[in-house]
Chains A and B, each alone.
Chain A
């Protein structure tokens, strides 16, 4: 049974309470573009927020916006860009994803280098807990410490504590200049650690900086391995940033079409396995090496790194026997691995399989004791 809820938060709460009474389990959905992410969900019914849309509050001068959870990032972009503003969230996928899902999954893309992740941009939430209670956390203003921080608790909880029904986010004014540059390595090996060292040395922070491997670089029309920078600020500042990048590259970097970011975000559409390999930022080279080792058997594997954050993403179409290969390489790595999407049985292989954290289970118990919402998606223990 699928129902697109268009009525109210109250209607959503009714659905949850109804499920509670019947012992049903709900799979929450936004636009449904990324439902195969996370561990397998054992649900009998879908609760779609795709029709729960609309911006409910937007005063440009406040640089905040409140929207119902099913509102897409595109709708938000279209509403705020005439005012020279943006919601600085560019999760992998596309702007067709919903605000609720982006926050629920804490999805972040290249812009996180400068603006952080949803936890830094979400100011307040309304959600329906697994108990069917309508709860508000945080507020609609940029600063707020009233009560315990339910907003951050819900951000990245993958729908397991509550169905997000509305969110208030912080917006930013668009920078005067917004330029995308690509640098290709002069020799055949890209130095991710060197990029990170430069970022640390520079007195400015780019809007985004991603290192892409050969196959991803080709796909993006960059010819091969490359470092892609997105620079923002006033024109003088951007001119200086260009100069610093030219120094790093040993010559002027080429300006590329900004659509490269959209392509980069959409590249993993067909991937069956997306892993985030991370270390402390100073060890990003080691994380890159681990990601390279992981993807070595797969010719078309796409690897990209956010050097400032010490995070490397790798995506492949792992199938059949190749999965066994993955599992054995994965088990030997020292990096932290977070899976964004994986074939069912890989979730049970180390290091993806994980023991339930008792404190986290207690939090789940407090908000959704019957495990009604997205059961299993975080690998949490089931209750019978």
Chain B
């Protein structure tokens, strides 16, 4: 049994997404939950990355798990490709459905179970990240991964992107907090991955699914690890007259053995944007950079850590170091950081955010390169990022209607990416590949490595119907498929229906 398949996209053009498919889906979810008019679909033609617009052929919004299963089985029967979508806050174009069916999961918002004894919760994929923490707050618990978009993004989207966030420096990224997933494969099969107790025999299927960006199927329900709220928290703001000094402070802090809960850097351009917005946090606008540092845990010994960090900041050249006096001040300092992209976006009509990682010790060098790239291309590059992880987020506010400026922005993004890869880094720390970063995959992976990723995808989605065209560039899968005819085709799972 050898099927002739193309690359990431289905070999044959997808069957027309016509009124009859809309009717069949409407029979499952109700008329109001199927959108097919171009005007209605416009909302879903992009995610939080403004550079791409791809109109879905149709959008469907199931309200229950059974409806999701029925929808996906109908799409399997009709051989129609689809794209799962959570809140659409993705920054790599991952949730765009170019002519395919967009399956919106944002109505599945049930927290199915909370087990405070075992520190776990099981949730539907559309549960909003911050809502989960609110739901478990009465038990003194929270869900640790906290992307800056946490007020909107969903746990399903977090799982698909292996999302990070400021507190991931100490607590780890999404994959460190997922115990089990019930996944709906594109052929309609339901599989359980991992176990709620954490121990499994065999391959790490949860580790494999997390970060698969919707290409392996839909996470139907997700069992997460919960984290106890720390006994004490201290939030420190240190400001510097050079980016370099701030970057050196980062390395020195981490080297002490103290693992801050968060260690974020905000440069002058970002500080000014934030301070000019409704999210003004009291950051000093004349500083070259500020570090927002948080330590948490047991009360005992915490003051010592704060003192150590203060002294490192001072000896690295900090101008002022201050510790938030109360919860209100702490919240304000964080609000500025979390809303920084929003504040930047207000400056111009569009904002692009790059997401790359460099070894921590290379931060000063790479930040300097980023600055020069901006100067050379007459762009104002602002930086606000997870410095403790070396996870850079250079961002540029620009006018997308200005073709010259748009072109320069693209050139800058490429140059920044190259600089990060040359420094031994990688092309994405938390936002994923989607379609935006397909162009960079060859910079870090050999054809054999990309082919191995394609073959893994084939295990879950041999027909390439779930989020086609994402994560792995097409040409590498073509190579794989060229060799494919020679081998037996054992990868295809049992068809459903």
Q: Which residues of A contact B (CB under 8 A)?
A: 59-64, 84, 106, 116, 119-120, 129, 133-137, 139-150, 152-153, 155-157, 161, 172-176, 200, 202-204, 233-241, 276, 278-282, 309-311, 336, 338, 354, 357-360, 362-363, 365-367, 369, 378
B 140-172 to A, binary, CB cutoff 8 A, 1 in contact else 0 = 000000000000000000000110100010001
Distance, CA A366 to CA B488, complexed state (A): 10
> CA of A119 to CA of B199 in the docked complex: distance in angstroms?
12
Give the Cβ gap from B169 to chain A, nearest Cβ, in Å: 9
B-to-A contact residues, CB < 8 Å: 115, 117-120, 161-162, 164, 168, 172-173, 175-176, 191, 195-199, 201-205, 207-208, 210-212, 215, 228, 230-232, 251, 254-257, 259, 297-305, 357-361, 386, 389-391, 424-433, 437, 441, 444-446, 448-453, 455-460, 471-472, 487-488, 490-491, 493-494
Kindly list the 8 A-B residue pairs having the minimum CB-CB distance in the complex, ordered from nearest: A152-B207, A237-B301, A240-B300, A173-B257, A203-B231, A203-B298, A236-B301, A282-B117
Interface pair A362/B459, CB less than 8 Å apart: yes
Known A-B contacts A146-B426, A278-B197; the reply to A173 vs B255 at CB < 8 A is: yes
Given contacts A139-B444, A237-B300, contact A144 B490 (CB under 8 A): no
By a CB distance below 8 angstroms, the chain B residues around A116 are 172, 176
- Whether B300 pairs with A367 at a CB distance below 8 angstroms is no
Known contacts A119-B207, A174-B257; is-contact A360 B429 (Cβ 8 Å)? no
Contact between A367 and B198, CB atoms less than 8 A apart = no
**Cβ-defined contact, B204 with A147, below 8 A:** no
B490 touches A280 (CB 8 A): no
In the bound complex, residues from chain B placing their C-beta under 8 Å from that of A172 are 257, 259
Q: Which of A147, A156, A172 has the most CB of B within 10 A?
A: A147
Which residues of A sit under 8 angstroms from B437, Cβ to Cβ?
146
Chain B residues closer than 8 Å to A360, beta-carbon distance: 202-203, 205
CB pair B433 A147 closer than 8 Å: yes
CB pair A144–B428 under 8 Å, yes or no, is yes
Task: Give the CA-CA distance A119 to B360 in the complex, in Å.
Answer: 21
| B164 / chain A contacts, CB cutoff of 8 Å | 143
Partner of A147, one of B117, B429, B445: B445
Closest chain B residue to A160, Cβ basis: B203
Minimum CB distance partner of A310 in chain B: B197
Give the docked Cα–Cα distance between A152 and B297 (Å).
Answer: 28
Residues of chain A contacted by B446 (CB below 8 angstroms): 134-136
Q: Check B199–A153 contact: CB distance below 8 A.
A: no
| 13 pairs, CB–CB < 8 Å, chain A vs chain B | A60-B255, A106-B204, A139-B444, A143-B357, A146-B427, A147-B471, A152-B207, A152-B210, A172-B259, A240-B301, A279-B197, A360-B205, A365-B490
* A123, chain B: closest CB distance, angstroms: 10
- Name the one of B191, B358, B448, B449 contacting A141, with C-beta atoms under 8 angstroms: B358
Chain A contact residues, majority secondary structure: mixed
Asked whether, in the complex, the Cβ of A141 is within 8 Å of the Cβ of B162, the reply is: no
Q: How close is A341's CB to chain B, nearest CB, in angstroms?
A: 14
Taking chain B's interface residues, is the majority helix, strand, or loop, or is none over half, making it mixed?
loop
Task: Please report the C-alpha to C-alpha distance between residue A366 and residue B172 in the assembled complex, in whole angstroms.
Answer: 30
Q: Are A359 and B490 in contact (CB under 8 A)?
A: no
Q: How far is the CA of A141 from the CA of B359 in the complex (A)?
A: 6
Closest residue of chain B to A116 (Cβ to Cβ) is B176
Nearest chain A CB to B309's CB is how many angstroms away?
A: 12
Separation of A61 and B365 alpha carbons in the complex (Å): 14
In the complex, which residues of chain A have a beta carbon less than 8 angstroms from the beta carbon of B202? 357, 360, 378
With A281-B197, A282-B118 in contact, is A153–B456 under 8 Å at CB?
Answer: yes
Task: Please measure, in the bound complex, the distance between the C-alpha atom of A166 and the C-alpha atom of B172, giving whole angstroms.
Answer: 23
- Residues in B neighbouring A239, C-beta threshold 8 A: 300
Q: If A143-B168, A310-B197 touch, does A234 touch B301 (CB 8 Å cutoff)? A: yes
- Cα separation A336 to B390 with both chains bound (whole Å): 39
Is there an interface contact between B459 and A366, defined as CB atoms closer than 8 Å? yes
Given A133-B451, A358-B493, decide whether A145 and B197 contact each other with a Cβ distance below 8 A.
no
Task: List, in ascending order, chain A residues with CB within 8 A of B191's CB.
Answer: 359
Which chain A residues border B204 with CB–CB below 8 Å? 106, 119, 152-153, 155-157
Closest B residue, CB atoms, query A84: B257
Which of the residues B207, B299, B431 comes within 8 Å of A149, measured between beta carbons? B207
Known contacts A116-B176, A146-B444; is-contact A363 B459 (Cβ 8 Å)? yes
Set of chain A residues within 8 Å of B301, measured between Cβ atoms: 233-238, 240
A129 touching B230, Cβ below 8 Å = no
- Cβ–Cβ contact B298 & A237, under 8 A: yes
Contact of B433 with A62 in the complex, beta carbons under 8 Å? no
Beyond A173-B257, A236-B301, A280-B120, 15 extra complex contacts between A and B, CB < 8 Å:
A61-B255, A119-B207, A136-B445, A141-B425, A144-B357, A145-B161, A147-B449, A203-B232, A236-B304, A280-B196, A359-B191, A360-B205, A363-B459, A366-B459, A367-B455
Known contacts: A148-B211, A173-B255. The answer to whether A142 contacts B389 by CB under 8 A is yes
A366 interface neighbour in B175, B257, B429, B491, Cβ under 8 Å: B491
Given contacts A141-B390, A280-B196, contact A63 B490 (CB under 8 A): no
Q: Does A204 contact B162, Cβ atoms closer than 8 Å?
A: no
B260 to chain A, nearest CB (A): 12
Which residues does chain B contribute within 8 Å of A153, judged by CB atoms? 203-204, 207-208, 456
Asked if A141 contacts B424 (CB within 8 A), the reply is yes
Q: With A and B bound together, what is the CA distance between A62 and B389 in angstroms?
A: 9
Interface centre among B212, B298, B446 (most CB of A within 10 A): B298
Residues of A within 8 A of B303 (CB): 236
CB pair A140 B459 closer than 8 Å: no
User: What's the minimum C-beta distance from A98 to chain B, rounded to whole angstroms?
Assistant: 20
In Å, the complex CA distance between A365 and B490 comes to 7
CA distance A120 to B207 in the complex (A): 10
| Nearest-CB residue, chain A, relative to B230 | A203
Closest Cβ neighbor of B257 among chain A residues: A173
| Cα–Cα, bound, A163→B161 (Å) | 27
A378 to chain B, nearest CB (A): 6
